[in-house]
Amino acid sequence: MPITVDGKFMFGLERDGVFHKDFTLRVPTLEEMENALEEAGPDASLARIARYKWAQCMTRLGSIPAEKINADLLADLPAYDYGALESAEADLLKKLASASAAPSTPSA
């Protein structure tokens, strides 16, 4: 089961008169980070690269279908909600560190 964290935007993404505020992020893979770097472009800001990464790792955004979540969609979030994504990513790192610190059982 992938490591995930739930978050909530202060304002959320408005679609058809509904503000979607609740979201879930999972830990990104190395490949997803590489894809985000490529898709964001060679001169992309760190914020743009993060948006592309988060779009690949967001498994839920309100009632928006997961397959509709992409970097262009997240671009419509109010700038003030950027901190919620940074906070969720920090929480993911803590969960990953905790999980990886647990003793592992050798496989047979």
What are 27-63's pLDDT values in tens digits? 999 999 999 999 999 999 999 999 999 999 999 999 9
Residue 4 forms beta bridges with which residues? 26
Residues 7 and 88: their CA atoms lie apart, in Å, by 6
Per-domain residue ranges of the chain: 4-97
Q: Which pLDDT tens digit goes with each residue over 55-90?
A: 999 999 999 999 999 999 999 999 999 999 999 999
pTM of the model: 0.88
Query: Is residue 50 within 8 Å of residue 58, measured between CB atoms?
Result: no
Q: Report which DSSP code applies to 6.
A: E
Beta strands in the chain (DSSP E): 4-15, 18-26, 58-61
104 vs 19 pLDDT, higher one? 19
